[in-house]
Amino acid sequence: MQLTSLVARLPYPSKAVQRALAIAAIITQGGIGVTGSVVRVTGSGLGCPTWPQCFEGSMFPVQHPEYETLTQWIEFGNRLLTGVVGIVAALCVLAAWRIQIDHPERKRLVKLAWTMPGGVVAQAVIGGMTVLTGLLWWTVAIHFLASAVLVWLATLLLHAFNEGDERPRWRVAGSGRALLVTLVVSMAGLLAAGTTVTGAGPHGGDPDTPRLQAPIETLTFVHGSLLVVYLIVLAVLGLQWLRTGAPKQLWRRYTVVWVVALAQGALGSVQYALGVPEALVSFHVLGSAAVIVATAALWCAARDRGPVTSFSPAPAEATAASSR
């Protein structure tokens, strides 16, 4: 209760602040995945060979004959960025908490906000496991997939700030709902398959890191095939909406998904044809985050949770009554 009273003294977050914090959460959750890919393609994954310290007895990079200074700072910089992600996550929780004090019905918003710092803690643990196991490919895969989940949740949080808490009512017909679920499942499979391509590829984060012993041509074919499945489901979804009708907002977001997915597919093909150059790897990871955000935004637009009630503080008498 004492902590709640302290939060209640904070200024009520405006609509612009709520939106800015949620967008910052999406950017930082996605950005940490991109900087992680930079660590990997530069071979800096073991620039700090221990965790949570960089070296035994030091939280910071130190002069060492076996580790280049640049690789140390690249890895250490990625760890520092986790602090930025944590700060943004904490601010999201404070904003949601402050809103709930005036609007007690906003429980879902607070729960979604708490997934942000919870994810930071989980990612720190997974990151430590990744370093301590010598960057085994499957630990790197888990690290990336956890980021993907957090990007999805951050997008849901952005929409939660801008919608009510009523039971969701679908804006599309029953088959459209099933197709949306299939689209999300196919995206999850696509992302998981992408991690196996990475696991067998040339960029392991350290020259001595064991790679996934599987034909990369086969893994790439599976990954590409799942993209085709994703696009087919997306096309069938559009045809279904042409037949049954869909709101304009859905069509706008549907178009964005097509643009982002096709761009990501083209980038992946170019990346493979050029022998997986380092810079394109990081752009491909960024594209993955964009596909997740676009798909999550489409998912949210397909459901109506009623009007938002928390862009402004509740009347003083209502707040006093709810606190009694």
Which pLDDT score, from 0 to 100, does residue 247 have?
A: 87
Q: What is the pLDDT of residues 187-225, one digit of tens each?
A: 999 999 999 998 888 877 777 788 889 999 999 999 999
Q: Is the pLDDT of residue 174 over 50?
A: yes
Task: Indicate whether 298 belongs to any domain.
Answer: yes
Mean pLDDT, rounded, of the chain: 90
- SS3 label, residue 205: coil
Give me the percent of the chain exceeding a pLDDT of 70: 97
Which residue pairs, CB below 8 angstroms and at least 24 apart, start in 276-279? 276/201, 276/202, 276/203, 278/41, 278/42, 278/203, 279/41
Task: Indicate whether 251 belongs to any domain.
Answer: yes
Task: Indicate whether 322 belongs to any domain.
Answer: no
Which pLDDT score, from 0 to 100, does residue 316 have?
A: 60
* Residue 64, token pair as written in the block: 């060492």
Q: Is the pLDDT of residue 105 over 50?
A: yes
Q: What is the pLDDT of residues 113-157, one digit of tens each?
A: 999 999 999 998 998 888 888 888 899 899 999 999 999 999 999
Read off the DSSP letter of residue 44.
-
Q: What is the pLDDT of residues 216-275, one digit of tens each?
A: 999 999 999 999 999 999 999 999 998 888 888 899 999 999 999 999 999 999 998 888
Model confidence band, residue 321 (pLDDT cutoffs 50, 70, 90): very low
Q: What are phi and psi of 314, to 5 degrees?
A: -70, 155
Q: How many CA atoms lie within 13 A of 155 on its CB side?
A: 20
Task: Indicate whether 136 belongs to any domain.
Answer: yes
What is the domain range of residue 23?
11-315
Task: Indicate whether 3 belongs to any domain.
Answer: no
Task: Indicate whether 320 belongs to any domain.
Answer: no
Total structural domains within the chain: 1
Task: Indicate whether 6 belongs to any domain.
Answer: no
Model confidence band, residue 1 (pLDDT cutoffs 50, 70, 90): low
Cα distances (angstroms) measured from residue 223 to each of 113, 125, 167:
32, 28, 36
Q: What is the pLDDT of residues 5-61, one digit of tens each?
A: 899 999 999 999 999 999 999 999 999 999 888 888 888 878 888 888 888 888 888
Task: Indicate whether 67 belongs to any domain.
Answer: yes
Q: Is the pLDDT of residue 322 over 60?
A: no
H helix or E strand, kind and range, residue 315? none
Smallest CA-to-CA distance from 318 within 267, 220, 309 is with 309
Give me the percent of the chain exceeding a pLDDT of 90: 57
- The answer to whether the beta carbons of residues 94 and 116 sit under 8 Å apart is no
Bridge partners of 290, per DSSP, are: none
Place of tokens 């009520």: 12
Which pLDDT score, from 0 to 100, does residue 20 have?
A: 97
Look up the pTM and report it.
0.90
Q: What are phi and psi of 76, to 5 degrees?
A: -65, -35
CA distance 104 to 309: 11
Q: Is the pLDDT of residue 281 over 50?
A: yes
- The answer to whether the beta carbons of residues 299 and 179 sit under 8 Å apart is no
Place of tokens 């930079």: 38
CA distance 70 to 252: 44
Read off the DSSP letter of residue 67.
B
Cis bond upstream, residue 52 (ω within 30)? yes
Q: Is the pLDDT of residue 4 over 60?
A: yes
Read off the DSSP letter of residue 136.
-
CA distance 95 to 116: 12
Which pLDDT score, from 0 to 100, does residue 323 have?
A: 47
CA distance 287 to 269: 13
Cα distances (angstroms) measured from residue 149 to each of 20, 22, 187, 192, 284:
20, 15, 11, 12, 17
Count Cβ atoms within 10 A of the Cβ of residue 128 and give its class: 0-12 exposed, 13-18 middle, 19 or more buried: middle
Higher-pLDDT residue of 262, 82: 262
Please tell me the total number of residues recorded for the chain in this structure: 324
Q: What is the pLDDT of residues 287-309, one digit of tens each?
A: 999 999 999 999 999 999 998 88
CA distance 110 to 27: 20
Q: How many CA atoms lie within 13 A of 189 on its CB side?
A: 16
